[in-house]
Amino acid sequence: MKRFALILIACGLIAAALPREADAIPAFARKYKLSCSTCHSMVPKLKEYGEDFAGNAFKLPDAPEPPRTYVEAGDDELLLHRFFPIAVRFDGYVQYAERDAGEFDFQTPYGVKLMSGGPISPHVGYYMYFYMNERGEVAGLEDAYVHFNNLFGTELDIMVGQFQVSDPLFKRELRLTLEDYEVYRMRPSYSHANLTYDRGVILTYGFDFGLDLVGEVLNGNGIGEADGTVFDVDNGKAFAFRASQSVGPVRVGGFYYRGEELFRDVSFGGGSVPVNLADVKNVVEYYGPDVTIGNEYIELNAQYLKRVDSDIPVAGTDGTLLQEMTMDGIMAELVYMPGGPESNWAFVALYNNSEIADLNQVYHTATFSASRLLARNLRLIGEITYDLENETPRAAVGFVSGF
């Protein structure tokens, strides 16, 4: 534990010694000549104004587009950027963990994203990023969608492409910790469905009295490669629905997901998929509440989800069996920013507890993270996570940057 203390002390000394502010130059800030702090409180965490900007198909909700932003091509139906909007996110860490090899690990870069987004017509925008390096591999496109904003003059929005199913809940891409929200990631063996990336359509509608409705139609099998020209390996689609109501500092929501999947790559002991499993449909359901309570200084986010799989293959003594399995998952996150939206410090406590009892699959951790803005687009982070299941700690010091 002395090593962990030394890492955190070093993190604090470095943060205190470096300058407090600097100009930022990500794609949207360059375009509008605005500071990153207009939309972000602590990169990548969004302010309410930043959420409105993203929800407006990446256009300022209360200002016209800057002059000379688009090419004058003599065609009023063409909105073509004069300079293609592009930005980079670059994260790196040094991690220590008690393990057989690689106790001290230079994870630099941990991830490098090439990002782009903006309007392509007055009410249509796009956003995408290419993961050039994700933990040493080229991951390819993850988020990539077109956003149709305020259709028919109403509050109806539609997004088509690939995105995270959990985005209407808590966005994994905007968290301040290296530690993830495991409740959205965990799944039984052989299942391709979880609440991370998938292809499909999102419909959203917001009411003036604080009610937000979200519906999703999805392939239900992630964003893997196509089988020939077909991305969905079965005929079933997945459907998700979320309703949330905001009242003052409190937002309460409920989520439901249902999908079907076929098993085509199940094998035990090197054997091929048994004939009796080739057309077995596993019905996947998620349901549970979420809540956010807070203000500009302190915020509590909590999520509970139960997952039920109707037919998961297991290796029995007399051959392969099908078994119903359930997952219970909890994520609770407390974010404290002592200076409010303009704070240069952020402190996060994160608790994960997700379990599939039938597989003895447990993820149970407690995390404390401290962040210091060195510039509007550069954040230093120090983090300790304790694995409550295996009783082992790990720690990391690193940076998150965008330019």
pTM for the model: 0.86
User: Hey, is 1 helix, strand or coil?
Assistant: coil
Residue 13 has pLDDT above 70, yes or no: no
Residue 111: per-residue pLDDT: 92
Write the CATH number of the domain with boundaries 2-402: 2.40.160.10
Residue 172: per-residue pLDDT: 93
Residue 53 has pLDDT above 80, yes or no: no
Residue of 102, 111, 91 lying closest to 43 (CA atoms): 91
- Cβ contact 132:114 at 8 Å: yes
163/201 Cα distance (integer angstroms):
9
E strands, 295-360, are 298-316, 319-336, 345-356
pLDDT bin (cut points 50, 70, 90) of residue 208 is very high
Q: Give the number of other Cβ atoms within 10 Å of residue 154's Cβ.
A: 9
The separation between the first and the last C-alpha atoms of the chain, rounded to the nearest angstrom, is: 35
User: Hey, is 135 helix, strand or coil?
Assistant: coil
Write the secondary structure of 243-294 as one string of H (helix), E (strand) and C (coil): EEEEECCEEEEEEEEEEEEECCCCCCCCCCCCHHHCCCEEEEEEEEEEEEEE
146/125 Cα distance (integer angstroms):
6
- Cβ contact 66:77 at 8 Å: no
403 against 256, higher pLDDT: 256
Among 4-8, 203-207, 233-237, 251-255, the least confident range: 4-8
Residue 48: per-residue pLDDT: 74
Residue 2 has pLDDT above 60, yes or no: no
Residue 5: per-residue pLDDT: 44
383/349 Cα distance (integer angstroms):
10
- Please name the residue that has the structure tokens 């790559």: 265
Q: Give the number of other Cβ atoms within 10 Å of residue 274's Cβ.
A: 15
Residue of 291, 293, 298, 295 lying closest to 349 (CA atoms): 298
Residue 10 has pLDDT above 50, yes or no: no
Residue of 44, 137, 67 lying closest to 378 (CA atoms): 44
Q: Which tokens hold the place of 94?
A: 């040094």
Residue of 64, 65, 40 lying closest to 54 (CA atoms): 40
Which residues lie closer than 8 Å to 235 by C-beta, 6 or more apart? Answer: none
**Type and span of the H or E element at 28:** helix 27-32
